[in-house]
Amino acid sequence: MKAYLIEKYGDASEVRAAEVPDPEPGAEEVLVRIHAASVNPLDFRIRDGAFKAFLPYRLPLVLGNDLAGEVVRTGPAVTRFAVGDHVYARPDKDRIGAFAELIAVHQDDLAPKPAALTMAEAASLPLVGLTAWQALVEKAQVRPGQKVLIHGGSGGVGTVALQLARHLGAHVATTASAANVPLVKDLGADVAIDYRTQDFGEVLHGYDLVLDTLGGESLEKSMSVLEPGGKLISIAGPPDADFARELGLNPVLRQGVEALSSGIRRHAERRGVTYAFLFMKADGAQLGEITRLVDDGVIRPVVDRAFPFERTREAMEYAEHGRTGAGKVVVTMV
Q: What is the pLDDT along the chain (334 residues), one digit of tens a residue?
A: 999 999 999 999 999 999 999 999 999 999 999 999 999 999 999 999 988 887 889 999 999 999 999 999 999 999 999 999 999 999 999 999 999 999 999 999 999 999 999 999 999 999 999 999 999 999 999 999 999 999 999 999 999 999 999 999 999 999 999 999 999 999 999 999 999 999 999 999 999 999 999 998 889 899 999 999 999 999 999 988 788 788 777 788 778 878 888 899 999 999 999 999 999 999 999 999 999 999 999 999 999 999 999 999 999 999 998 666 799 999 999 7
- Superfamily of segment(s) 2-125+301-332: Medium-chain alcohol dehydrogenases, catalytic domain (3.90.180.10)
Full-model pTM: 0.96
Domain positions in the chain: 2-125+301-332, 127-277
What does the pLDDT read at residue 253?
77
Task: Kindly report, residue by residue over 187-226, the tens digit of the pLDDT.
Answer: 999 999 999 999 999 999 999 999 999 998 889 899 999 9
Instruction: Give the Cβ contact number of residue 216 at 10 Å.
Output: 10
What pLDDT shows up at residue 251? 81
Q: What are phi and psi of 257, to 5 degrees?
A: -65, -45
Q: Return the CATH class of domain 127-277.
A: alpha beta
Q: Where in the chain does DSSP place strands (E)?
A: 2-6, 16-19, 29-39, 61-62, 67-74, 86-89, 102-106, 110-112, 147-150, 171-176, 191-194, 207-212, 226-234, 274-277, 303-308, 328-332
Would you state the pLDDT for residue 324?
Answer: 63
